[in-house]
Homo-oligomer: A and B are copies of this chain.
Amino acid sequence: MDSGIRGQPEERVSEVDQVSHLAVDIGGSLIKLVYSSSNETSGVEKGETASDDILEVSNGSDNYPIHYGRLHFAKFETSKINDCLEFISSKQLCRSGSWHHVTSDNHRIAIKATGGGAYKFADLFKEKLGVSLDKVDEMDCLVAGANFLLKVDGDGKFERVSGTSVGGGTFWGLGRLLTKCKSFDELLELSYSGNNRVIDMLVGDIYGGTDYTKIGLSSTTIASSFGKAISENKELQDYRPEDVSRSLLRMISNNIGQIAYLNALRFGLKRIFFGGFFIRGHPYTMDTISVAVQFWSKGEAEAMFLRHEGFLGALGAFVSHESHSLGTS
């Protein structure tokens, strides 16, 4: 895949000079697109839901001998999959599949796709865009995407050692129920001006303002997330959404940091890479996760973050090898 395109019919060359490759990662809450263009003019215009993140990849690593030109990153809420299909259609991205599953019907196009939605929405892509989804395993893609960003020569071997149901979906799901926020980003932004001490029960709240020094807990350590909300004097509407959002973010970031660290311990790892849309480059989220890893590891372990971390799966699908393919439908 020297040019990022394989088995492509000749008449499409001019098209592909502009948009040469597309891969999708369809998760439970978000659809992530990664596609490449070989010149700047074909860059995606900033839309309501599409991100305009662009990554210059002029020279691929040895492991990925590619020349993609510019990589584009776009996302849509999975519930608005029709917007995504329309975006693909209007940008003519669906004409840029990798076409390596060309059948007797020369125009059969396959897009590399990962995430559960690659199964769930296969028929919809077929019906609306006339393209097949060439499914690539989700974990394979995450690892390939991380390796791509790290420019690491991975050997493709990995093990899924744990997981958690408490993450970005929980932040946004609980956040929507608790505040009037209309979007994940709005909720996250609110948290910046919030104060979690209004709702969280701190060690100092229990110990009358003092630390619990014997076990090394300062008075500001959170003893119970949302623990102050048990008060009978206040209802949901009496709390500022900023404070609710902040408590939620700290609860989830701390928890993710702790579970990640405990798993890293099992394998003697000191550096933990975090990815996923929960993070998306937001400094406070990264800071909270970093602090959590530092806290639980007593400074022994470190949290690491990658740019474009939300697109690991889509990137992995984008650079996927045929060996990862789970079959086309």
Contact = CB atoms under 8 A, between A and B. Distances in A.
A178 B258 CA distance: 26
Nearest to A178: B177
A81 B22 CA distance: 63
A165 interface: yes
A239 B177 contact: yes
Interface in A196-211: 199-201, 203, 205-210
Q: How many copies does the complex hold?
A: 2
A208 B172 CA distance: 22
A222 interface: yes
A299 to B, nearest CB: 16
Contacts of A229: 172-174, 176-177
A172 B230 contact: yes
Contacts of A222: 165
A65 interface: no
Most-contacted residue by chain B among A137, A165, A232 (CB, 10 A): A165
Nearest to A201: B28
Interface of A: 27-29, 77, 79, 115-117, 119-121, 137-139, 160, 162, 164-170, 172-174, 176-178, 184, 199-201, 203, 205-210, 212, 214-215, 222-232, 235-236, 239, 244, 251, 254-255, 258-259, 262-263, 265-266, 296
Given A116-B205, A166-B225, 16 more contacts: A28-B223, A28-B224, A120-B207, A137-B214, A162-B296, A165-B200, A165-B224, A167-B224, A173-B201, A173-B224, A173-B229, A177-B178, A178-B178, A259-B262, A262-B266, A265-B266
